[in-house]
Amino acid sequence: MDKVRIGSVGLGRLGLRHAENIAAKIQNAELVALCDVDNAKLTETADRLGVKHRFASFEEMLSLSDMDAVVLVSPSALHTKQIAAALAAGKHIFSEKPLGVTVAECKEAEKAVEAHPNLVFMLGFMRRFDESYQYAHQKVSAGEIGKPVLFRAYSQDPEKFIQGAIAFAPHSGGQFLDMAVHDIDLARWFTDSEPETIYAVGGCYAHPEFAQYKDGDNVSCLMKFKNDCMVFLFAGRTAPHGYNIETEIIGTKGTLRIASVPQKNFVEILDAYGVRRECSENFLERFSSAYVNEMQEFVDCIITGRKPAVSVYDGTKVSEIAYACKASFEQGTLLKF
């Protein structure tokens, strides 16, 4: 295959970004179809990006014969079903996280993927494709920081998006499933190990609205991994300074910190507020190139027949761990994994 013909479903903020990337920035790829229930947005986007086929129905899009792959940026609750349908239709799949909204759904997705060994399935843990994370991972893999002692990760959303988060709260699955999954994935990737124990805490520090969904606006958990590495994760929705994704790996020989200052760019400002860096706005800004890199990897895997580094099993594992965090948080107990 010279060129991968892709249909993309879902035109929310991230869906739009994926569509734009495929249309313009991914080599050996062509955006041949778009699918969304919002007809105005569908038409506007397809016209702007020069996309021929437009669908309101995912099933109809799947019947398109000159389409090799689908990109799922649809609501989480639809993922498992769409994965099964797309595989049955012989399409390669790139799916946004989560793999499914329950662990049972994830297991179903695993079976569907296993039944189609010749089709590429990749999950969108884009942080692994950010240049800084990749640089750090190479150093860790090369043993430059020795044995991992503590893995610490923060995921903070700006306070200014809080109304959206509150509105989405009934469907988000809670902060561990909605936000911490990326850090859970990073923890497994960097330590090459799995949790043994989990203790999660948190609460509603600024926004009591989350309590009715048994969720908090800020949560954290401490895990001990099977290789003895300590893992501390923090996820919050009330950062005044911006979108703060920060990761630290302390090893016996050295420490790596990724984005310890969540700087927007290389500009430093000296003014009445001191010496300061403005921060990233949101995930689209911070992981702009990571989204391109992961999609390129998806396309390259299809063309070369390579398997993506992020497998369907990673999706299940991350969900299982996130559910355990949620359970520990809700019950106030220590869980063995």
Task: Determine the Cα–Cα distance for residues 139 and 190; give it in Å rounded to an integer.
Answer: 10
Contacting a second copy (CB under 8 A), which of 48, 75, 135, 211?
Answer: 135
Burial label, 50 (beta-carbon count in 10 A; 0-12, 13-18, 19+): exposed
Q: Nearer to a second copy by C-beta: 50 or 170? A: 50
Among 147, 171, 214, 226, binds a second copy (CB under 8 A): 147
Is 77 one of the binding residues for a second copy (CB under 8 A)?
Answer: no
**How near is the Cβ of 107 to a second copy at its closest, in Å?**
29
Q: Give the Cα separation of 212 and 96 in Å (integer).
A: 27
| Partners of residue 148 on adjacent β-strands | 251
Decide: is 7 part of the binding site for a second copy (CB under 8 A).
no
**Taking each helix axis from N to C terminus, what angle separates 103-114 and 79-88, rounded to the nearest 10 degrees?**
10
Q: Which is nearer to a second copy, 90 or 164 (CB)?
A: 164
Instruction: Choose one: 11-19, 66-74, 120-128, 269-277; the region binding a second copy (CB under 8 A).
Output: 269-277
Q: At what angle do helices 181-191 and 131-141 cross, to 10 degrees?
A: 30
117 belongs to the binding site for a second copy (CB under 8 A): no
Give me the residue label for tokens 């399935």: 121
Q: Taking CB under 8 A as the rule, does residue 3 contact a second copy?
A: no
Among 11, 239, 290, 318, binds a second copy (CB under 8 A): 239
Burial of 163 (0-12, 13-18, 19+ CB in 10 A): exposed
For the CA atoms of 260, 265, 271, 273, what is the dihedral angle to 10 degrees?
-40
Contact between 12 and a second copy by CB under 8 A: the answer reads no
Looking at residue 216, the DSSP 8-state letter turns out to be -
The answer, yes or no, to whether the previous bond of 195 is cis (omega within 30 of 0) is: no
Does residue 54 belong to the site contacting a second copy (CB under 8 A)? Answer: no
Q: Output the smallest distance, CB 266 to a second copy, in A.
A: 4
Residue 267 binds to a second copy (criterion: CB under 8 A): yes
**Residue 162 phi, psi dihedral angles, 5° rounding:** -65, -35
Would you say 91 and 68 are in contact if contact means Cβ atoms under 8 Å apart? yes
In the complex with a second copy, which residue's Cβ is closer, 121 or 210?
210
**Is residue 232 a contact point for a second copy (CB under 8 A)?**
yes
Give least dist CB 214 to a second copy, A: 15
Residues 158-197 within binding reach of a second copy (CB under 8 A): 197
At 115, the amino acid letter reads: A
Q: Which two tokens stand for residue 81?
A: 């079903």
Q: Which is nearer to a second copy, 96 or 130 (CB)?
A: 130
Interaction site with a second copy (CB under 8 A) = 24-25, 27, 131-132, 135-136, 139, 145-147, 149-150, 197, 199, 201-203, 205-206, 218, 220-222, 224, 228, 230, 232, 234, 236, 238-242, 244, 250, 252-279, 332-334
